């Protein structure tokens, strides 16, 4: 089951994000940085994003009653939508749940009338890059610098209707 997250789900979404970061990014970020990730700051950030609706929406995927993944969808322009914060718990990765959530989001976005989807991925996140390429996203030459624990590079992937 997949559903749109409500403000009451902010803690659940933050827990999924934190769990996924700490288990999936051990080869990307230093352990000390991953352990310092602030749960309460994340909850507040999610709540503030949710209050910006309809510009941003969170989605949660469940395996039976257990929340196993989440993603955020936000409008970039009248014809472009972005998927951000796409997380599937480590123990559920490579089981098809990511593909199910991604397909659901694509259908939702295209149904809403957008023609293009953007996804920014850390270049060090080799599994993430491969996942989007396997799902027919095109890697562009567009990159941007972000500060996470240090300067990191995000690569833009796109899918056009």
Question: Each residue of 16-51: pLDDT tens digit?
Answer: 999 999 998 888 888 888 888 888 999 999 998 888
What pLDDT, on a 0 to 100 scale, did the predictor assign at position 54? Answer: 64
130 CB burial (10 A radius; 0-12, 13-18, 19+): exposed
Query: Sorting pLDDT into bands at 50, 70 and 90, what band is 94?
Result: very high
Domains (range + CATH), the chain = 2-114 (3.40.630.30)
Choice between 95 and 33, residue whose per-residue pLDDT is larger = 95
Distance, in Å, from the CA atom of 17 to the CA atom of 106, rounded to the nearest integer, reads: 21
What pLDDT, on a 0 to 100 scale, did the predictor assign at position 148? Answer: 86
What pLDDT, on a 0 to 100 scale, did the predictor assign at position 101? Answer: 98
Query: Sorting pLDDT into bands at 50, 70 and 90, what band is 53?
Result: low
| Cβ atoms 86, 71 nearer than 8 A | yes
**pTM for this entry:** 0.93
Choice between 34 and 111, residue whose per-residue pLDDT is larger = 111
What pLDDT, on a 0 to 100 scale, did the predictor assign at position 52? Answer: 76
Q: Average pLDDT of the chain?
A: 94
Distance, in Å, from the CA atom of 66 to the CA atom of 64, rounded to the nearest integer, reads: 6
């Amino acid at each position: 089951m997949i559903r749109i997250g409500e403000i009451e789900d902010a803690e659940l979404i933050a827990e999924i994000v934190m769990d996924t970061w700490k288990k999936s990014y051990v080869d990307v970020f230093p352990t000390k940085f991953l352990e310092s990730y602030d749960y309460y700051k994340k909850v507040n950030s999610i709540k503030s994003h949710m209050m910006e609706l309809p510009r941003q929406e969170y989605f949660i995927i469940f395996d039976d009653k257990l929340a196993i993944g989440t993603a955020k969808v936000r409008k970039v322009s009248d014809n472009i939508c972005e998927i951000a914060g796409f997380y599937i718990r480590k123990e559920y990765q490579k089981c098809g749940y990511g593909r199910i959530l991604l397909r659901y989001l694509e259908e939702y976005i295209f149904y809403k009338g957008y023609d293009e989807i953007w996804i920014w991925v850390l270049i060090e996140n080799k599994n993430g890059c491969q996942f989007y390429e396997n799902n027919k996203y095109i890697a562009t030459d567009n990159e941007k610098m972000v500060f996470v624990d240090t300067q990191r590079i995000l690569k833009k992937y796109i899918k056009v209707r």
